[in-house]
Amino acid sequence: MPYRHVYNLLIHLFSPVLLAMLYWPKRGKPGFGRRWPEHLGWVRPTSTARPLWLHAVSVGEVVAATPLIKALKAAHPEIPIVVTTTTRTGADQVARLGELVEHRYAPLDFPWAVAGFMRRIRPRALLIMETELWPNLLHACGQRRLPVLVLNARLSARSADRYRRFHGIFRLLSANITHIACQHRDDAERFAGLGVPRYRLSITGSMKFDIEYGEGILEQGRQLREQLGTARPVWIAASTHEGEDEQLLAAHRQLLQRHPDALLILVPRHPQRFDQVAELVAQQGFILCRRTEGNPGPQTQVYLGDTMGELPVMLAAADIAFVGGSLIERGGHNLLEPAALGKPVLTGPYTFNFSDIYLRLKNNDAIIAVHDSHTLSTSLNNLLQDETYRLRIGQNAKKFVYNNKGAIKKTLEQTLPFIH
């Protein structure tokens, strides 16, 4: 296919840049250690033959896939599962699953790297979380007649327009996909509009609704809240990006004028920014305590979440949650994690990654949109001053999540016929 030949020429020409972006050391960025050759297909064979391969690019996709992985193991305990990620943080999240799965880093989309991975792992089927589609990977699956299922799939109007302009490329991608389990009807209609046959499409809902926080997470959240102070107001800014932290700190400074004992839990999205954000907080004159340094004192104004995998615990410990990636044009992050815990959810204006969920939360009076540091501070103050209002918004959010569960069961029904 001409498109694939051009694509392969380009990725090899730009491979030094791509590899530099992946491996170039940055302060606070976890490295890959001796496992970096796995990205080139040089992986250890699995302990048993013909595993099920599930690919989840990073932390968010692994978290969403975890209930499905447990359901698959319950249905077929004899089938081993290999989970691949591209990032180290995703690998660390997979490690929390223990012996339930084996982890490997996914091959980069060089044809020889993909072929090496396939030769060593010999998967029986590939499950791709959301819409992580790569031409050589899909082509290799097609050559081997390997079932490929795209799960929890989303296709925004913007992405559909791009694919429509380059329809030949989309045909190249979709030709080797066996089935697409879409989050919403709009996603399925967009895939159908691009030529995917309707018999290869289903609507299963978003697996993010099936998030479950066990008693262990809730108990850790209660313990953390006791350390932070049960009498003081606590809000969290989760998964923040560069360009947002300044706005969040400005909002917190305004909030402190009305609630002098208020505490902000600030959790950057990427670990390589932990030190940078700590310096920013200190430069702005806030009293800072880092999670890795121990318990905060009563004078602490900003508590920096500089660990990985503990966001649910920190969300459980807070009164109010702001979800980052939304005060800048990143499109926001998972709004359902705090909602499932019954927290009032605040978000900035940029929610295009979760536009459908945002609108549905809004229609259920379960989310509050802010536009800048001033409106954020005002909304925080309103919630803290009116406990009835705060609890109502949080309960609406929790009820919304509960009423939309069931995607795991539907996804499992679509998946099981292909993995025997």
Q: Which of 61, 130, 244, 337 is catalytic?
A: 61
> Contact at 8 Å (CB) between 305 and 281?
no
Is residue 388 packed enough to be buried (19+ CB in 10 Å), middle (13-18) or exposed (0-12)?
Answer: exposed
Torsions phi, psi for 184 (to 5 deg): -140, 165
**Cα–Cα distance, 396 to 418 (Å, whole number):** 38
Q: Which of 314, 313, 348 is nearest to 328 (CA)?
A: 348
**Pair of tokens at residue 227:** 């350390």
The three-class DSSP label of residue 329 is coil
**Cα–Cα distance, 319 to 237 (Å, whole number):** 11
Write the Ramachandran bin of 91: left for phi over 0, alpha for psi from -120 to 50, otherwise beta: alpha
> Contact at 8 Å (CB) between 337 and 398?
no
**Cα–Cα distance, 186 to 170 (Å, whole number):** 18
Q: Is residue 61 flagged as an active site residue?
A: yes
> Contact at 8 Å (CB) between 372 and 246?
no
Strand order in the sheet with 234-240: 288-290, 302-304, 263-268, 234-240, 320-323, 345-347, 367-369
> Contact at 8 Å (CB) between 206 and 183?
yes
**Cα–Cα distance, 344 to 129 (Å, whole number):** 28
Q: CA dist 46 to 51, 85, 100, 281, Å?
A: 8, 16, 13, 45
Q: Which residues are catalytic?
A: 61
